[in-house]
């Protein structure tokens, strides 16, 4: 007997996250190297109704930390932040979150890449220790 119909696929249960980004002051947005990949620049340009060239010039810069003769990737520019010193140029200070969530780069979409976030665990521990649910723990530079 030959089966020609669609093959049933068992869906895995989604991995339960052990963090809540809504309770975080957006530590990951303060990373100095938020690298653009693939269609990120195109997505940003479309979001702001501009050309890729304009978006590249306005929102990105060359990453100066690359070595070994490789082409330096483009990273997002930063702006001042009262908590972390600097933060992603698209960060919304009032909402304490991403100002371009639907158009955010792939690296932000994939973060942290696992079911746990190390900063969130650190933050939760410090908030418990300080007995303050709004305490903002920083790691220092």
- 68 burial class (0-12, 13-18, 19+ CB within 10 angstroms)? exposed
Question: Residue 58 is encoded by which pair of tokens?
Answer: 């306005």
Through-space distance between the first and last CA atoms of the chain, rounded to whole angstroms: 66
Question: What's residue 23's pLDDT?
Answer: 83
Q: Which residues pair with 80 in a beta bridge?
A: 86
- 77 burial class (0-12, 13-18, 19+ CB within 10 angstroms)? middle
Question: What's residue 15's pLDDT?
Answer: 59
CB 38 within 8 A of CB 106: yes
Question: What's residue 103's pLDDT?
Answer: 95
CB 47 within 8 A of CB 100: yes
Neighbouring C-beta atoms of residue 110, cutoff 10 Å: 10
Neighbouring C-beta atoms of residue 69, cutoff 10 Å: 5
Question: What's residue 72's pLDDT?
Answer: 78
Local mean pLDDT, 10-residue blocks, the chain (141 residues) = 45 65 87 91 96 96 73 90 93 92 92 86 91 82 51
């Amino acid at each position: 007997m030959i089966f020609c119909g669609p093959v049933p696929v068992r869906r895995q249960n989604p991995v339960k996250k052990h963090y809540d980004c809504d309770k975080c002051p957006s530590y990951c947005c303060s990373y100095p190297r938020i690298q653009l990949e693939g269609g990120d620049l195109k997505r940003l340009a479309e979001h702001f109704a501009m050309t890729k060239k304009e978006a590249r010039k306005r929102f990105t810069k060359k990453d100066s930390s690359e070595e070994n003769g490789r082409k330096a990737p483009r990273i997002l520019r930063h702006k001042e932040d009262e908590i972390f010193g600097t933060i992603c140029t698209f960060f919304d200070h009032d909402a304490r979150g991403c100002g371009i969530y639907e158009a955010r780069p792939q690296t932000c979409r994939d973060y942290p890449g696992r079911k746990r976030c190390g900063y969130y665990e650190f933050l939760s521990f410090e908030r418990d220790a300080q007995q303050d649910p709004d305490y903002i723990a920083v790691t220092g530079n």
